[in-house]
Every structure is written in structure tokens, then in C-alpha cells.
A and B are shown apart, each in its own frame.
Chain A
Amino acid sequence: MHIIDRRLNPGGKSLENRQRFLRRAKSLVQGAVKKTSQERDIKDVLEGGEVTIPLDGMHEPRFRREGGTRDMVLPGNKKFIEGDYLQRSGQGSAKDSGPGEGDSEDAFRFVLSRDEFVDLFLDDLELPDLAKRKIAQTESEGIQRAGYTTSGSPANISVSRTVQLALARRIALRRPRKSEIDELEAEIAACTDEDVRAELLAKLEKLKAKSKRIPFIDPLDIRYRRFETVPRPVAQAVMFCLMDVSGSMSEHMKDLAKRFYMLLYVFLKRRYKHVEIVFIRHTDRAEEVDEQTFFYGPASGGTLVSSALQAMHEIVRERFNPADWNIYAAQASDGDNSYSDGELTGLLLTDKILPVCQFFAYLEVGESGGSAFDLSDSSLWTLYERLRSSGAPLSMRKVSERSEIFPVFHDLFQRRETSQEKAAP
């Protein structure tokens, strides 16, 4: 008779099977994830969670019989006698509650971890990289402190750590203190009684021997600083989020814009190890703000799109050398701009911004329902359309409903054949 405690055995034996299942069901789960993420608050997307996938797609077929005449024996007869007929349809007929044939498992909920969820969510997206993508993938080695080691080059001895260890060792071994020996010597010098003196001398001998046996620093104590090489990307990415928060932007529009940025944020965090995000919001003047303010801070005023572009341009010049950085920008606006600003905006874009940008995404947000939205193009839209047709790396989309955010996002950042696109005129 054995009784064994298996609780400490690693659980998750099914993890591998689960991954196989996920791989196999990838397209199904992916579809489910996309559907789920449309219904959900984008912030929650980061949390992962339940998706419902149709079991049918993962059906394992068996030869099953069905139809024909059926015989069944049931318990609980209350009133029937031989020869009775039961109605086939309607309540109380036995057929409804016949033996459970054909399990109805048409769909089931599948709990995805946060990572699995986001992975599947972003699986077929990527930042459109036109030039520097290759560089971004090669990484150079950097050096980083990584604790201590017992061997190394003398140049790397860590004195403080060594002394610390020596001290600890000596305390542990009860090393005689210098002051103790001094005291004893003074006592001997002062002592007159021969016997006591001899005794003290013996004691002194012992202490001295001990202090020799327990050296101040032992090879055991020596520690070297350890360094580790870590990969450092040569090129990094920076994303500029430009949001119009002027008075003409309704809450709904801001909500759309923010959702778009959150999605972008999740996406970038996932794809790039080193990604900087710069949040710029503007009314008739622009300011760089932190994430919190960007997403939640109130602000209002007139509209000058060029202010945001100008701010971006300055930040690029100061902090992000286009030679080292992949620069992306995403702008969300309702498309309103003051009439006088159009020309400046166009100039800034063509001269300063677009030449250094890998990709510039413009998202025009509209009111829910958005019928008027389709009527005439806004001033910004017209401007951008003109730039785009002259070959600028610019993508533009219109959104007026929450549920459109993901498809548009997907559309903008869909993995594409870069070479083909470049080849195309």
C-alpha cells in the first residue's frame, strides 16, 4: 500500500496539449479574439480573458448513427399503459427528454492568458517599415553590471564587497579584535605578579595565533564585479501620437481617438523592445504631455493642426535622430482646421515631417451615425489626400463607430508585402 502526495508535482501537464490546440485552432481563436475585442473596452484587451470559439471547427468526427426507429427504456412512468401513444412534439413528450444522444457542445468558452490573447490579437499586424526594418532587427551588444563573481580580473575586484565578506567571516569566526590584544599587552606591561603574567602571556600568545589564523582578508572573501553583455538594438522606434482636443472634438470623437491610441500603445509595446511613445495634444497650441494627461486630461480650445506638427518636428530634432530611430506618427482629428493654417500644415508635413517618418497614419473621427461625415471631405482630409496622391507614406481612414476602430487599425497596420508596395508606383 502506497500513499503518495502528488500535489507538489508540476501541474500544467496539459500546457503542451493546450498549445497544440491553440496552434491548431489559431484562425478560429483569432477570429474570436477580434470579435471579443470589438465588444470590449480596449483597456481590457490587455488583460486577456475568455473567448468563445465554435467547437464545430475543432470537431473530431466519429461514425455516429442517427435516425431510424428508436427504442428506449425510461424510468418514472406515472400514467402510461401499454399501447398508449405519446405526442412527438410539445411539452411532456418523452422524446424531448430521450436519452442524451448527440452532445450539444456547439461552442465553448476558452480562457486565454493575457499573452496569448494579445499575441493572437496582434498576430498579423506590423508597423509599416519601409527602410530601416532590417537595421531594427540587428542588435549590438552592450555591457551591463550583473552582480558579483568569485573569479575575474584584478581590475574588477570589488573592494567594498570583499571587505564586507571578510568582516562577516571574521565576526563569524570570533576573530580577536586589535583592541583586545592591545588591552592585554597593556595589562601584561602593568602586571607584577609572575603567575598572572605568565597566564596573561599565554592568553596573548593564543590571541596572536588566532589573529594569524584568521587573516584580515582571505582569498575566500574576494569578489569581482561581473559584467554581462546584453543586446541593444541599434535602431529604435518612436511613435508620435498627435491628438486634436479642440472644442470641435466631441466626447465621442475623443473616445474613438483614445481607443485608437490605446490599441496602438498595446501594439507597440508588444512589437518593439525599445519603443518610445510621445504624446502630443493640441488645440490652437500644442504641448507634449504624459500618458495620463493624454488619455484623461481635460483641455479645450481652438484648432491649429500645424502647432502639433511643429511640436513634433522640434522633438524629433532634439531627441530622435532619424538615422537611429524609426519614426512613426499617428494623428487623430475631426478634420477641422482653421482656414489660414492649411498651407502651413501642408508645408510642415512635406518638408519636415514626412521625410523623416516611416509611416504617418491619419485617423479622422466622426460623430456616431456619421452620415454627414461622408458628405464632404474635411479640410485636413482634402489636404492629406493631395499629399498621399503625390506619393507620401501616409495612410488615412475615417472612423465613426467604436466597432470600427479595430478593423481600421488592422487595415492601417496590416502586414504587407513591403517590396511589392515599393515597386508599385
Chain B
Amino acid sequence: MTERLFEGADWDFRTLQRITDACEEIALKDLGLDVYPNQIEVITAEQMLDAYSSVGMPLFYKHWSFGKHFAFHEASYRKGLMGLAYEIVINSSPCISYLMEENTATMQTLVIAHAAFGHNHFFKNNYLFKQWTDADGILDYLDFAKNYVASCEERYGRIEVERTLDAAHALMSHGIDRYPGKKKLDLRAEEKRAGRRRQHEEEVFNDLWRTVPKGAAKSRSALSIERRRKLLGLPQENLLYFLEKSAPRLAPWQRELLRIVRHIAQYFYPQSQTKVMNEGTATYVHYRIMTMLHERGRITDGNFLEFLGSHTNVVFQPEFDDPRFSGFNPYALGFAVMQDIERIVTKPEDEDREWFPDIAGRGDVMGVLRDVWANYRDESFIGQFLSPRLMRHFRMFHLHDDPEERAGIRVDAIHDERGFRRVRRELARQHDVGFIDANIEVVDVDLSGDRRLILHHHVIKGSQLNETDAKRVLQHLADLWTYDVSLIEVDANDKVLREYVVSPRPIPAAVA
């Protein structure tokens, strides 16, 4: 009565179409997912490597660091150290999923279910992505960025552009607005605006203005410290934004480059906050879809077993004393929590009723999950939904490592009644991007003096910056600012722990 989607491992484009249709039916009707239109592209291993090195994007501006990553990935791929991901999926509308041609038919089904429906739904519905990304505009914007960078290289020289981009990349992780501000990102308008700005500059350019004598500067004292800081928008934690707006000597095209890097960093910001959820969602969705396809006889037992093999590998969580251990596997953790939510919603036990009174026994699994997917990020997701049962399952424990402590590393909490909440809180904290990244902000500019830029790093738990790296990043920062930059590391009591002062390198006379 039901026809199989495919036999064996081979596939062709008609098979892919059948697979996609079958997955779509389940995704939309049975799971009630809401997705962007899908675009599925079949690529080779080499193209997959290409995509890897440009952070997965189909088009990107040229920069040596992508070449470096390509070489690195390629070398480890050739040596067999690294398998390629089965898929890459792009948060855009249409949502683009890359499939590798080497995959078997079962793997293609898995990947389509995982990427084209799981990730896709997550991208479209999670509040962070809604707030921070513009799926409709991103591809056009990247295209614009690529052309813009290329045209700058033509006009101002490759080395100049590279210098600016290097600096911007070094500050990229501090080029993000963490709190939703004025408006949602609209990349298409952004692109148009950049074009207009350029055009305007060209139109109004008149060399005579250069000769107009500048008026006397406002007296320094007139600008109170408070007002000055307000004018500069201080304190400001988005360093790229600050430089773009306030660095005194940047050329307009340099500001635009900073802006491009900043927009791209912002675009990827939600992804870094939702790794566990995003992968968990995709894994949960592919698991459900594959199981249903099997139940309905669309794929054979053999195919299903093959799928289970891959699935098990993906959600494998090595224990801490396993040589393969490298932190929590987001696929494993995310998938486990979502399956656990399914259990709590359908077959709750007393413990679950106590811990999760809102959802225990509610019955509507997909309703609850869709709500979770839409409204949480990793930190709040773990903080809210990691159940005692799962902590026992993973045998989680919390270590506290204080270098001052002679006795060693203390086991602070384990998976017992006393420890559940503490373990959960700590694990949630580990997934909080705001907590992971160094908290650095521009606090002041000494405008009346030597225009030194002053930054603070608020040290948490005694964890200071790596000195070598910090100096190099500050060098980039100083080069853009073109005056001295000082970074002060202060602890919670405003005690100064360390201070860096970096002077800009002289700008080399325009070299070809």
C-alpha cells in the first residue's frame, strides 16, 4: 500500500524529491513545523571544504584567513583526522541545505530531515534569530559585502584592505550588540544605505571644503565628562560599532568594512547562543521523521538500522575520563533534553510533576516543544528543562577548580538531591555566551588630553586575558583608533589587576 522511497543506497534527483516530499509531509502535518522554503543543493566533498572555510556561507569576501582554514581543514581531512559534516545549512530564506554527493540515500534522508526541516524550523521560529538575523537579506548582503571588499581592494590596494579586515576580525567577537536595541537588522536596507552613502560622498565631494578654516573648537570645560560620554555613547561594549562611529581618522570605506564585519558577527551571534538547542532540535526532528518513515513502511528495516547507526554516533556522549571527551556534545545534550521533555509531557513521574508542574502530563508534545524552540536559548533552556533524571543519566557532577586550593579540585555538587539545582545552574552558566566572552567595554576617551581610548575588562572569577593575544588585539585596535589605547583589567571591587597600553603603529605611506 505504501511505496518505498528508495531501495538500497543509491539515489538520484527523483529520489531526493520523493524523500523531501515525504519528510515535508511529516514535518508540516505531523510535527506542525513552520519552515522557510527549502533549497537543497548537492555538492562534492571539495565544495564542502570550500564552504567550511568561509564559515559555511555560499559567498563571502576574500581574505587570507579563509585560505588558512581551508588549508587546515583540507590537511586534516586528507589525513583522515576529520570526517566532513554530512550537511551545512544556512539561515536564509530560502533555507539552503548542502548535501554531499557521497552520502547514501538513507543519509540524504537523514540530512534533509535534520537540516531542511529541523534547523530550518529553528531558524525561522527561535526568538534570537527573529530578533537578530534577516534571513531574507543575508545572501544579498553577503554578495554586496563581497563586491564591496573587492572594489575597495581595487581602489585602495589589497594590503590596506587586508590590514583593516585583520583588525576587524580580531575584534569580531566584540562587535556584537548583546541587547536588542532600536531596531531589527534589515540587511537589504543596509546595503542600499551603504550604496547611497557612497554616492552621496562622491556627489558632494568638493576639494574646496578642505581649505575652509576650521572653527575654534568648543572649550573643553564646556563639555562635562558626563555629556561627553553620552555623546560618544559610552560605555560601549560593541567595540567595532564604537570605532566605526567614533574613530577619528578612518576613511569612509574603512568604516564600511568594520560595519560589514560587525553585521556578519551579529548574524552569527544567535548561533553561538543556541548550539545545544539548534542541534537538539534538528536531531529530535530527524529522529521523529525517520522513525515515522520507518513505521509507515517508506524505508526498509535495513535503511532504518543504517540510520540508527549514524544517529547513535551523532548523539554519543563520551564520559569525562574518556580520551574522546571534549566537553558536552551539543547534539547529545540537546536531543536528550528534548526527548526527556517528550517523556515528561506524556508519561510524567512524581519527580517530574514536582520539577515541571507546567508541562508534566500536558500531552501535547509538539506544542510544548515548539514553544520551547521558539522562546529559549541554551542557557535558559538548560536552566529550565534539564531534569534530575537526565542528570542522573549523564551522571553529571560539578567541579570547582580554585588555583589557590592546595588540596586539589573540589567536587562541588553531584547528581543527588542536594546537587541537582546547583549542577543545573552551573551547566546553564557554561552555555551563557555573555558569561563565556570576556566582558570588555570602552569606558572613556581622553578628549582633552592625548585622545587615549580607555577600555575596561571586568574580570570574573579571576580569569584574566591571555597576555600575548590581548596585546595583539589591542595593537589592531590602536591602529584603527590611531591614538594610544589602554585596557585596564579590574576585578569586581574595581581593583586594577593589570593595565595594557598600546600605541598605534605609524601608518605606512601609501604603498602599492
Using a CB–CB cutoff of 8 Å, the interface residues on chain A facing chain B are 1-7, 9, 11-14, 16-25, 50, 55, 58-78, 80-88, 92-95, 97-100, 105, 108-111
Residues of B within 8 A of A99 (CB): 326-327, 430
With both chains docked as a complex, state the minimum distance between the C-beta of A146 and any C-beta of chain B, in angstroms. Answer: 35
Asked if residues B79 and A109 are in contact (CB atoms below 8 Å), the reply is yes
With both chains docked as a complex, state the minimum distance between the C-beta of A195 and any C-beta of chain B, in angstroms. Answer: 64
Contact of A88 among B320, B409, B430 (CB under 8 A): B409
Asked if residues B71 and A97 are in contact (CB atoms below 8 Å), the reply is no
Could you list some 15 contacts between A and B, CB below 8 A?
A: A6-B47, A13-B54, A18-B67, A20-B63, A21-B66, A24-B162, A50-B75, A64-B466, A69-B462, A74-B397, A76-B395, A80-B411, A86-B409, A94-B320, A108-B72
Q: Which residue, of B70, B169, B408, has the highest number of chain A Cβ atoms within 10 A?
A: B408
Interface SS of chain B: mixed
| Contacts A61-B469, A66-B466, A73-B430 given; does A2 touch B39 at CB 8 Å | yes
Asked if residues B75 and A17 are in contact (CB atoms below 8 Å), the reply is no
Asked if residues B75 and A111 are in contact (CB atoms below 8 Å), the reply is yes
- Inter-chain CB contacts under 8 Å: number: 267
Asked if residues A77 and B397 are in contact (CB atoms below 8 Å), the reply is yes
Total contacting residues, chain B, CB less than 8 A: 101
Residues of A within 8 A of B49 (CB): 14
Measured between alpha carbons, how far is A20 from B65 in the docked complex, in Å? 8
Residue of B nearest to A84 (CB): B411
Contact of A13 among B47, B101, B464 (CB under 8 A): B47
Residues of B within 8 A of A2 (CB): 38-40, 94
The interface stretch among B187-195, B202-210, B271-279, B421-429 is: B421-429
Residues of B within 8 A of A100 (CB): 326-327
| Contacts A3-B42, A58-B68, A65-B463 given; does A73 touch B427 at CB 8 Å | yes
| Contacts A17-B66, A63-B470 given; does A82 touch B320 at CB 8 Å | no
Asked if residues B409 and A108 are in contact (CB atoms below 8 Å), the reply is no
Residue of B nearest to A86 (CB): B409
Interface SS of chain A: loop
Cβ-based interface call for B403 (8 A) = yes
Cβ-based interface call for B503 (8 A) = no
Cβ-based interface call for B440 (8 A) = yes
Contact of A17 among B40, B63, B327 (CB under 8 A): B63
| Contacts A63-B438, A73-B423 given; does A68 touch B47 at CB 8 Å | no
Contact of A18 among B24, B71, B98, B169 (CB under 8 A): B71
Cβ-based interface call for B398 (8 A) = yes
| Contacts A17-B70, A74-B320, A74-B396 given; does A11 touch B78 at CB 8 Å | no
Residue of A nearest to B413 (CB): A82
Contact of B41 among A4, A58, A71, A80 (CB under 8 A): A4
Residues of B within 8 A of A19 (CB): 67
Residues of A within 8 A of B464 (CB): 65-68
| Contacts A65-B463, A65-B465 given; does A1 touch B38 at CB 8 Å | yes
Residues of B within 8 A of A58 (CB): 68
| Contacts A92-B321, A111-B75 given; does A71 touch B429 at CB 8 Å | yes
Asked if residues B320 and A6 are in contact (CB atoms below 8 Å), the reply is no
In B44-94, the 8 Å CB interface with A consists of 44, 46-47, 49-50, 53-54, 62-68, 70-72, 74-76, 78-79, 94
Using a CB–CB cutoff of 8 Å, the interface residues on chain B facing chain A are 13, 16-17, 20-21, 24, 37-44, 46-47, 49-50, 53-54, 62-68, 70-72, 74-76, 78-79, 94, 98, 101, 162, 166, 169-170, 172-174, 317-323, 325-328, 394-403, 407-416, 418-419, 423, 426-427, 429-430, 437-438, 440, 457, 459-466, 468-470, 472-473, 476
Measured between alpha carbons, how far is A1 from B117 in the docked complex, in Å? 12
Asked if residues B412 and A4 are in contact (CB atoms below 8 Å), the reply is no
Asked if residues A75 and B396 are in contact (CB atoms below 8 Å), the reply is yes
Residue of B nearest to A92 (CB): B321
| Contacts A82-B414, A82-B416, A97-B321 given; does A73 touch B396 at CB 8 Å | yes
Contact of A11 among B24, B46, B461 (CB under 8 A): B46
Measured between alpha carbons, how far is A85 from B457 in the docked complex, in Å? 32
Residues of B within 8 A of A110 (CB): 71, 75
Measured between alpha carbons, how far is A85 from B401 in the docked complex, in Å? 10
Measured between alpha carbons, how far is A19 from B470 in the docked complex, in Å? 28
Contact of A76 among B76, B319, B403, B466 (CB under 8 A): B319
Residue of B nearest to A2 (CB): B39
Measured between alpha carbons, how far is A384 from B412 in the docked complex, in Å? 80
Residues of A within 8 A of B470 (CB): 61, 63-64
Measured between alpha carbons, how far is A60 from B170 in the docked complex, in Å? 7
With both chains docked as a complex, state the minimum distance between the C-beta of A163 and any C-beta of chain B, in angstroms. Answer: 48
Residues of A within 8 A of B172 (CB): 62
Asked if residues A70 and B401 are in contact (CB atoms below 8 Å), the reply is yes
Q: Known pairs A3-B17, A11-B50, A69-B400; list 18 more (Cβ under 8 Å).
A: A1-B39, A3-B20, A3-B41, A5-B13, A11-B44, A20-B62, A21-B64, A24-B162, A25-B68, A68-B462, A68-B464, A74-B396, A76-B318, A76-B322, A78-B395, A86-B408, A94-B409, A97-B325
| Contacts A14-B50, A82-B416, A86-B399 given; does A20 touch B64 at CB 8 Å | yes
Asked if residues A76 and B320 are in contact (CB atoms below 8 Å), the reply is yes
